[in-house]
Amino acid sequence: MYLKVATLPRKFKVFAMVLSDLILIPLALWSSIALRLGTTIFPIDHIWWIFAILPVITIPIFARLGLYRAVIRYFDEKILLTVIFGVTLSVFFISTLVVMTQTLGIPRSSIVIYWVICVTYIMISRYLARGIIRQMERLNNVRKQKVAIYGAGRAGLQTALSMFSSSEYTPVLFFDDNKDLQGTSIAGIRVYSPHRAIELMEQNDCHQLLFAIPSASMQRRQEIIKNFEQRNIQLKIIPGLNAIVDGKIRIDSIREVGVEDLLGRDPVPPDETLLASSITDKVVMVTGAGGSIGSELCRQILVRKPKMLIMFEQNEYALYAVDREFASQQGEARIIPILGDVLRTEELRTVIGKYKVDSVYHAAAYKHVPLVEANIISGVNNNVFGTLSALNAIQNTSVSKFILISTDKAVRPANIMGATKRIAEMLVQMFAEQKNQSTVYSMVRFGNVLGSSGSVIPLFKEQIKSGGPITVTHPHITRYFMTIPEAAELVLQAGAMAEGGELFVLDMGEPVKIYEMAKNMIILSGFSVRDQDNPEGDIEIKLVGLRPGEKLYEELLIANVSSATQHPRIMKATEEGLSTSELNGLIEQLKASTQHGSEDKTKQIIQKIVSNYTEAKH
């Protein structure tokens, strides 16, 4: 029955409210006169027209004030104020009318009583309607999933209100750290102390907990999440405050708590002045614009209002996807998608010259360690000669800054991917040492980013979805992790600080054990880990051994020599490379070996260029 009422046309519901007021307003006047005279029997033959005209005056006032636009299910104190204001205007008009027509039979004091009774009748009618609707909702909620909400603030209230009209969820409990809120009711739901959460959720047969605390620090959020681990409770979260527009939260914006919510850090506010100096009103090019980092760089750049953004990408679909995403944004910047290959130097030079590019962020690279290990020639061509091509293309052009996006795998590399990225760094250093040039060259090195195409997290999610097992290479393997937006923002700030030849290293926080991450992902997905201690668990973690070129842990510095910058999460590293003549000679040899397709010769030359490269054992 509730579903039938809820799906009735809005016009029908408004008509029902107007009809109710059409009856209640004259009844309020009759009640006030009866109360004043002390009897329900009094002559109204000569004042019947007042009973008729009163709703004709009052209902349009209510309509003008927006009373009939309010949704009864969610009404609050604003509706009370609207009713009081509307009835006050009604009293003013009727008083004026009675005085001007010198109508007898209506005690003057009864008009004051009418004001009180009319407000009461109108509000009681709304409360009754809301009570009926909510009772119908409760009857219908048997089919809905019960949800407890952690956080009884604005975000929690808006979430609960959104759920009332949802066909999927129903809120049954509120938990909040604020002792002043504990024991109160919000949207008809009792607020309890978080210390009773497990107990109360079990009593209410509720197995989903939604975090509605977007303003809480990352550390506090992590503490709360860990309290509910391994409790057979599915954890979900609403987006940050910047995603809550005008207090509105959509049910489809709620997502499951992920491992990124445990690994993330509280962001350091960016230095907007620093960013504006190299982006605002400038022509900026991003190579590899369709990749995880490249596309996020584009998003962050567009926020800073460049004059033009050139998105250079080899993969057609990746470029199409990112271009389509930005097409819906109404910004002032002109966005130019270029389908091209960084290995074609003249093509790059033509694009740079045509659009008078100011800054180039070189993110184009092959990043998947096993794939590059299995395709050495392609990896060297793209990562080494693609970078060299880009460096050659910007010579004697308008480009004032060139920033290479590097990786922690370039430090004492144990794989071809890391070695090629280290050679790319050395090439940038070589160009930076050239005299009489106007371009500032720099590099930014960091570790894994959460959710990137090469990250283990999407792989683990797929494996959990299919019922497992989750494959981990080694029980002690660790990696650094950072969110994609944080990494991109720090890259832009590091590039803005560059003065020539710097190797910037991003503070990645503490390294994370991949095995522990896998366990957390299983638990956060609502499953249990199957192991020796729990043979009846849901998903197994299977150890498969290190892959070719894979190290147990990654490093960010070769020489462990770094200095601070003006940003707390950006360091400057000093690392030695080869002389220009020596590097040029070896690069020529590397080019010849790749052209002949000789993988063994290519590896030998890479070993000469990167002395601390350790060839992967297959």
257-273: burial string, b at 16+ Cβ within 10 Å, e else: bbbebbbbbeeeebeee
Phi, psi of 353 (to 5 degrees): -70, -40
Active centre residues (catalytic): 409
Cα(233)–Cα(217) distance, integer angstroms: 22
Question: Is 441:427 a contact under the CB 8 Å cutoff?
Answer: no
Cα(227)–Cα(195) distance, integer angstroms: 10
| The pair of three-digit structure tokens given for residue 347, joined into one six-digit string | 């093509």
Pairing of strands 359-362, 283-287: parallel
For every residue of 283-335, DSSP letters joined together read EEEEETTTSHHHHHHHHHHHHT--SEEEEEES-HHHHHHHHHHHHT---SSEE
| The pair of three-digit structure tokens given for residue 89, joined into one six-digit string | 């205007």
Query: What residue type is assigned to position 612 of the chain?
Result: N
Place of tokens 């009489």: 436
HEC readout, 434-473: CCCCCCEEEEEEECEEECCCCCHHHHHHHHHHCCCCEEEC
Closest CA to 554 of 519, 605, 513, 503: 513
